Structure formats: structure tokens, C-alpha cells
Structure 1
Amino acid sequence: MSTKLFILCGLVLTTIITVEGAPSSNLPKGFIQCKKSDPKFNECLKDGLQSAIPHLAEGVPSLGLIKVDPLRIIELKINQESGHPVNLDLKFNDVDLINLKHSQIKSVYYDSVNYNAKIEVLLPESLLLEGNYEVNGNVLVVPIKGKGKCKLVTDISNAVINVQFKPVVKNGNTFLDINNFTFEFTATKLHLKFDNLFNGDKALGDNMNVFLNENWRDILKELQPSVEQVLSMAFKEISQHFFNSIPENEIFLP
């Protein structure tokens, strides 16, 4: 199995942490600062992340953050190897991930001694993925091939992000390297629509879309580990770019 993803800008669930640690002079109005010495530090982070979401959805030029809803994904590849019920070469390009702005922060935990973080997120609105696709392979022994527009609608009840950092001292300042980053989600529904399947054969394409949606649970079960892996890799890269630029003491206040 191989996966690959390129993203134009940072995801709200990872980039919103940066708001908390920015110097107060750079914080836009309405953003919250949190101190590690506060007994309710994690609760403060939770409130701060939640308050940051609508601002980040529209972009925050003063923080160098581009609009993240919709989030433009330039390329995403999933190669599910033979031997699986779902055996696909599936590529998405120039797709938009929509409705991140409705994310609700359920809980935040940051351990400043052991340098690990956990964020739980609720997504009350369906997450949409719209753009271009190309697919070739088999789904539950049924052949599938096509290239065109697609729309995926996913209902996600819960998402969990776990990050393990490693402190690294550079020029007298402590920076955070990400040793491990995992993103896992629980989906309750998946609806798929692929246009122009089988070179535009409408009957075959319509039947395949019906088949895919009737078997969405089996398809998601097979593809979810690959999707989680590719998103984890992407979010780690996005996050590391920030943590390479800002010392830990400027991200989380004393």
C-alpha cells in the first residue's frame, strides 16, 4: 500500500494551535492566550481553539494563515494493493475539503513535560470532498474504471489527533520536532458519486455508483487505514513546518 498527499495550506485542526502561542501583539482581536501555569490550561486551550476556528476558516493574514474552508488538496493518491477486497489505484487532484469551519473541539490535552498532545473533535456537518478523480481497479471483485468529477460526502462523528513531540535545542531556543502524528476518525456514513465512469457509459456508471453506496461500509473499512495514514502524514508535515519556525515557549506561554 502506498499513499501520497500534497496540500496547499494548513488544516484547521492542526494550525489552530499556533494561535495560542503567538505573541500577544500578533494575536487578532477575539483570540485567546493560554498559560501552562493555569490549572485550567487544557480547558483554556479548548476554548481558544474553538474561538479560533471561524477566524481561521476565513484566513488570518496577520498570522500568515490562508483560508482553510474550503481546504484545497492538490493531489491525493491511494494505492490499495492486490489481495484486498478493494483493490484500487485511486487518485484525487484539485479537490476541495469543505465544512471544516463547523468543527467543534471536544477536548484538548497537552503534556508540556512529556511533550504530547491529544485533540478530540466533533464534526456536526458532513465533510465534503469535491474535485477530480481517476480510478482503476476492483471493488469487491467488481471492476471499476473512470476519470472525471467526483463528490464524496462523509458523516464523521468523532476525530482524534495524537501528537508526540521531541524537544530540540537550536541557538539557545527549544523547538518541537514531531516524532509521531496520528489522525483517526469514526464515520457513520459515506456517500460517493463518480462522474464519467467507464468512459461515460451512463448505465454502467449509474449502476456502479449505486453499488458503491450500497457497500460503503465495506469500502470504508478497506480504505480508512490508507486515508488516515495519508492525512496523518500530511498534517504532520504541515505542523512541523510551523514548529520549525517558532520556539516552544512562544507557542505555549509560561
Structure 2
Amino acid sequence: MNPINSKVYFTQVVVTLLCFSTGSLGGILPDYIHVCPSLTSECLKKTIQETIPEFVKGIPELGIVPIDPITHDYIAIELPGGLKLELFNGRITGIRKCIVDNVKYENKQADIDIHCHLLIKGRYKAHGNILIVQINGDGDAKLKATNVTISAKLKFEDQERNGTVYHEIKDISVKHKFVDRVVFDLTNLFKGSPEISDAVLHFLNDNWKVVAEEFGDPIVNTIVNYVVDNIKRFFRGIPKDQIIVNNK
């Protein structure tokens, strides 16, 4: 066999073995995640809090993508009041600084409460009505949500693949709430009229709570979907015996 071909063949064999090993034995728990043997709320809260800043950077070998920042080329939102909103080149930051308030794990179910300060930037186009205000805008958008609480319930089930048991997520439900003021900064809310644009912007900020529930909910839901997808990939990729070492 030609020496060059021999090297290529050897490389292919090694890559194949590595892929087979990863698929059959599962991934390796990142060294920044410290397992809680007793699964107490205190330990889980501390571990999750320490894990977040690293986890949001992504784990490529498990298909886990970076989520701080989250970048999204295009989001289309149609609100009940008749407002059509389009966001372009969106950038969402703040997830790595989320604070874990409470964690509980019992009988294959986890309850997690966190709060986050989020910043959303991008370009927008909007046409229609929100509350009693007409919008016909095209400009820069910035939303600052200083305290968004997120509560998640996760139900797990054990799944065996190729002789390895995984503690996968069977079901997950997430609720969020805007607790503190959401600040809107949108330019050119009414094309061709800076005065009307300023008046509309003041109105939106004066009524931030109602506006956030209509305007901000779809954006927060987009963030939640990214996070949930990453969490599911993590538990699908890491064997149970690496995550739960003792559950007495």
C-alpha cells in the first residue's frame, strides 16, 4: 500500500472509531460541571449557577450552540391587535448572567426558577396597531428587560441506547414574567414624523407592562426555545451515570 494512502486509511479508521465511540457510549461531561451526589437543592442551585457562563458558550460535540449572544437573522411576529412586526439581525445578550433562584429535583422531575436581565438589539419593520396606537415604522430597535423571571418544569425518563442509559427530558414547560420595567428604544416609529414617533415611544414606555406582554413575549419565547433545545441535547448526549452518581 502506498504510504500516503496508508496514512489516509489510518486517519479514516481513527475518525470512524471516534464517531462510533461517541455514538455508542455518549459524550463526556464537561469538566466545569460539578455533579451533586445528593441532589440537594442547595448543591444543584450552586452547580447550575456556576455552569451557566460556560454552558452558554456551546458544546459543539453535542450539537449545543452558543446562546449568549443569540443571533437571529429574521423573526416575524403577528400580534392579535393587527400589528405585524419583523426583526432583522437580532442580537440577544444577558443569558450568561442569569441568576438561579431555586432548584428542586425529585422523582425524575426538576423545578427551576431563574431571573435574567436581557438586552435585545436589531433592525425592525412594523405596521399596524398596538393598544390604541398606530405604528408604521422602520428603524433601529433596542429592548431592555431588567428582570424577567423564568420558571421551568422538566420531567425526565431513562432511555437506553446501545447499552448506555440516558436521563432524557420527556416533557418541559416554561413560564416567564416581566417583573420590572421594560424599556423600549425604537427609532422612526412613524415614518416621516419625528414628533409622532417620539409621542408613540413615550406611550409605549408609559404602558410598558401591557406592551411587553404583547411585544416582548414572542421574543422571549424565541430565547426559551434556544435554551430548551440546548438542554434537551445535553441530556440526550451525556450518559445518566455521569450526571447522577448517587440518588439515595
TM-score scaled to structure 1, two decimals?
A: 0.71
Letter in 2 for 1:204: I
Q: Which residue of 2 aligns with 1:34?
A: 36
| Alpha-carbon distance between aligned partners in 2 of 1:67 and 1:104, rounded to the nearest angstrom | 18
Counterparts in 2 of 1:72 and 1:180: CA distance versus 1, 3 Å: same
1:204 correspondence with 2:196: yes
Counterparts in 2 of 1:252 and 1:177: CA distance versus 1, 3 Å: same
Q: Which residue of 2 aligns with 1:191?
A: 183
1:10-62 CA-partner distances (Å, limit 9, x unpaired) = xxxxxxxxxxxx756x404xx42222xx2x53321111122223444666789
1:119-138 equivalences under 5 Å are: 119-123=112-116, 126-138=117-129
| Alpha-carbon distance between aligned partners in 2 of 1:53 and 1:180, rounded to the nearest angstrom | 19
2:172 equivalent among 166, 173, 180:
180
Unpaired runs of 5+ residues, structure 1, are 1-21
Q: Which residue of 1 aligns with 2:210?
A: 218
Q: Which residue of 2 aligns with 1:93?
A: 88
SS at match of 2:237: coil
1:240 correspondence with 2:232: yes
Equivalent pairs, count: 220
1:78-127 CA-partner distances (Å, limit 9, x unpaired) = 2223xxxx43222323222222233221111122x3x221111133xx42
SS at match of 2:83: strand
Q: Which residue of 1 aligns with 2:150?
A: 159
Counterparts in 2 of 1:179 and 1:67: CA distance versus 1, 3 Å: closer
The alpha carbon displacement at 1:70 in A equals 2.9
Select the structure of larger CA radius of gyration. 2
Unpaired runs of 5+ residues, structure 2, are 1-26
State whether residues 91 and 133 of structure 1, in contact with CA within 8 Å, keep that contact through their aligned partners in structure 2: yes
Counterparts in 2 of 1:243 and 1:143: CA distance versus 1, 3 Å: same
Letter in 1 for 2:34: I
1:59-81 CA-partner distances (Å, limit 9, x unpaired) = 67898866543332343332223
Letter in 1 for 2:191: N
| Alpha-carbon distance between aligned partners in 1 of 2:238 and 2:71, rounded to the nearest angstrom | 25
Structure 1 stretch 70-79 or stretch 56-65: which is displaced more? 56-65
Structure 1 stretch 230-239 or stretch 206-215: which is displaced more? 230-239
The alpha carbon displacement at 1:215 in A equals 1.5
The alpha carbon displacement at 1:147 in A equals 2.3
SS at match of 1:209: helix
RMSD: 3.1
The alpha carbon displacement at 1:228 in A equals 5.4
| Alpha-carbon distance between aligned partners in 2 of 1:145 and 1:110, rounded to the nearest angstrom | 48
The alpha carbon displacement at 1:232 in A equals 4.0
SS at match of 1:48: helix
Counterparts in 2 of 1:253 and 1:79: CA distance versus 1, 3 Å: farther
Letter in 2 for 1:121: I
Counterparts in 2 of 1:228 and 1:54: CA distance versus 1, 3 Å: closer
